[in-house]
Amino acid sequence: MRKIRGAFLVGATILALPLVAATPRAAIAQRIGITSAVTGDPTGKPPDEIERILHVGIDVTAGEVVTTGATDRAHLLFLDGTALTISNQAQVTLDRFVYDSDQKLGDLAITATKGVFRLVGGRISKKTPVVVVTPSATLTIRGGIAMFSVEPTKTIATFMFGYEMTMTSQGRTQSVTVPGFQVRTLLGQAPGPAMRPAPGSLAVNMSRLEAVGGRPGSGADRAATATGFADANSGKGPNATGPVQGGPAPRGPGVANGPGGPPRMGGPGSGGGGFEPGPGPAQLNPLAGGSAPRTVP
C-alpha cells in the first residue's frame, strides 16, 4: 500500500511539472507607439518594469509613465498617428490605447500630471475624442491640435485647430470650436470662459516644447515627421507581433505623406506641428469663422 501511494505521489509530481513549466509569465506590456524624437534623457516606466531612458526608436506601452527633467523633451507617436510632444519638467501616464486598424476606430486616454504638452490628433480623434486628465480638469480633443499647460492647481488648454476641445471640472463643461481660444481652470473650480491667450503666452509654452538651444529644423515635430512611423505602423493592431518599424527614409520637413498616409505634420500656422484632419467647422485662422465658444450645462 505504501509503494502504491509513493508511486502515485511521484507520478503526480511528474505530471505537475509540465503544468508549472507552462504557467505564463506576467503579461507582456501592450505596445502602443514609439519614441520618435528626444532631447536629453527622458525616462519611461512601463507597468511592472524598471524605468529606462527613452531613446529614439524605443517602444512605449500602455500604462507607461513618461518623465522629463529640466533639459529633456520627448515626442511620442502612437500607432494611429497621434503625436504627443512633452516639455521639460513634465510627467504623463499613457493610460489607455485601443485601436482597430481596419475600422480606424479606437480610444486614447492619458493623464498629464505636470508640464506643457501638444497633442496632434491621429485617426482615433477623428471619431472619438482623446481624453486628457489633469489634476484640476478633464480635457477632450476631437480631430485636431491642442496645447495644454498643467500645474498641480491649474490647467490652461488652448485649441489650435480641428473640430472641438472641451474642458470639464466641477460638473461644468466649456466647449471651444474656434482656433486660438483657450480655457483655464483652477483646482476645485469650474472652467472659466473661453478667451484669447495673453500676448506672448503661447510663445512661452511653445519654447518649452522645443529642443534646448534648438536650431531651425531641430524641433521634435520635424524629426518625427521624418521617421515615417505612422506610414509603417498605422495598419497594425495594438497587439501586433514583431518590432515597430522605423519607417522609410526622411522626405524632408513639410512634405505631405503619400496617398493613404497619416495626417500631415508641419502644416501651416502650427509651428511645425500641423495637422490636416479634413474639412471641419473650425478654420486654421484664429480670426476665421466658426461657432462661438459655448458652455455646456
Q: Domain of 85: which CATH number?
A: 2.60.120.1440
Structural domain contains residue 119: yes
Domains: count for the chain? 1
Helices (H), 144-251: 201-209, 220-227, 229-233
Which parts of the chain register pLDDT below 50?
A: 1-27, 213-221, 223-225, 227, 229-297
C-beta of residue 79 within 8 angstroms of C-beta of residue 233:
yes
The reported pTM is 0.68
pLDDT at 210: 86
**For residue 45, with 0-12 CB atoms within 10 Å meaning exposed, 13-18 middle and 19 or more buried, which class applies?**
middle
Structural domain contains residue 291: no
pLDDT at 237: 43
Residue 16's H or E segment, with its range, is helix 2-22
Largest Cα separation within the chain, whole Å, is 93
Structural domain contains residue 184: yes
pLDDT at 42: 98
Residue 17's H or E segment, with its range, is helix 2-22
Structural domain contains residue 74: yes
Instruction: Show the domain range for 55.
Output: 31-209
- pLDDT tens for 44-77 read 999 999 999 999 999 999 999 999 999 999 999 9
Q: Please name the residues in contact with 128: beta carbons below 8 A apart, sequence gap of 6 or more.
A: 105, 106, 107, 108, 142
Structural domain contains residue 277: no
Structural domain contains residue 221: no
Structural domain contains residue 89: yes
- Rounded to 10 degrees, the C-alpha dihedral 218/221/225/230 comes to 150
- HEC-encoded secondary structure of 238-260: CCCCCCCCCCCCCCCCCCCCCCC
pLDDT at 30: 85
pLDDT at 193: 96
Structural domain contains residue 83: yes
